[in-house]
Amino acid sequence: YPDHPTKQQKRDVKEL
C-alpha cells in the first residue's frame, strides 16, 4: 500500500 494512503484507506492500513 502507498506510504501516504487516503483518509478513507487510513483506517484499512492500520489493520494491514
Mean pLDDT computed over 3-14: 64
- pTM for the model stands at 0.05
Q: Locate cell 492500513: which residue?
A: 13
Residue 9: pLDDT band with limits 50, 70, 90: low
The Cα–Cα gap between 10 and 16 comes to: 10
| CB 3 within 8 Å of CB 11 | no
Does residue 4 carry a pLDDT above 60?
yes
